[in-house]
Amino acid sequence: MGFLYSQFFITPPYPKGNFSGKTVVITGSNVGLGKEAARHYARLGASRLVLAVRSIEKGNEAKQDIMSTTNHKDTQVWKLDMSDYNSVKAFAKRAESELDRIDIFIANAGVARSEYQVQNGHEQCIDVNVISTILLMANMMPKMSETAARFNTRPTFSVTGSSTYAHTTFPQRSAPDGGILTALSDPDTCKRYWDQQYPVSKLIQLLLVRQIADQHPASEFPVTINIANPGLCWSELGREATGWGFYLVRLVLARSTEVGSRTVFHGGASGAETHGKYLNDCKIEEPTAPVTGAAGKEGQERISAEVLRAIDAIQPGVSKNFLIK
């Protein structure tokens, strides 16, 4: 009922503010929600805007569109392929050396697959939406922490989440210790629970954001980390979905891309009060099952430990970036 009420009756507020002097980075920003959120930051005066995209050609098209509608002067297009760990690490290294500051980082890129695919040893939704996203987040922490200290400000790293997190029972959480990620990529298990694969990837994002904040509260950590739900929108994410049913649901319920982007913008523009929080309709909202309660907490701790071990296997010691104070 909350989802339907939100889609029908709630319109997120039109973005306002002054972002002069700020550097904003948005992944997956050549189309859809990321592009429209980038346009809002450009319109509101962000000094530097980085579109982090897989296709430079499409990124340049988005850049020209944004600059022509906002008169923004410093929009840059950088290569970032979230399906390639080396690309994630190279992007972070470039940001460290070429950007003097990062005030807002929005991890908007993600995938929703219609069929089972494996990359880097993991099912693709889990690989891109979870492992690469947390690897990217960890790599951004040193530069964002440096920004906080150098400019006496509080940067924000916001993940684009989804209310679908509540539509999974997370059956893989019953796997033996250390075996949740394996179960999430097991072909037989994926086939049995395929309709839950994307929702469970968004659930794990939420659990990781909460776990990091639990271990590193806002009073001790210089960067705000949150997760924002844009609701059901017209975007490229569902491009693999087929059938009249899905089309009609989107036709009746979906927000426009621009309206949905307001929530993505809000996640990045929010401060310490949103650290570790789930944002819905541009407001803090307490998550529901399967996040809350003793079972939710146990699942949060177990999957978080596995994901942090996974990123350390990719880049030894990178999870220690969350220890920055």
Q: Which residues form the catalytic set?
A: 198, 202
- The b-or-e profile of 235-264 (16+ CB within 10 A means b, else e) is bebbeeeeeeeeeeebeeebbebbbbbbbb
Amino acid at 229: N
Secondary structure (H, E, C), the chain: CHHHHHHHHCCCCCCCCCCCCCEEEEECCCCHHHHHHHHHHHHCCCCEEEEEECCHHHHHHHHHHHHHHHCCCCEEEEECCCCCHHHHHHHHHHHHHHCCCCCEEEECCCCCCCCCCEECCEEHHHHHHHHHHHHHHHHHHHHHHHHHHHHCCCCEEEEECCHHHHHCCCHHHHCCCCCHHHHHHCHHHHHHCHHHHHHHHHHHHHHHHHHHHHHCCCCCCCCEEEEEECCCECCCCCCCCCCHHHHHHHHHHCECHHHHHHHHHHHHHCCHHHCCCEEECCEEECCCCCCCHHHHHHHHHHHHHHHHHHHHHHCCCHHHHHHCC
What are residue 283's DSSP bridge partners? 280
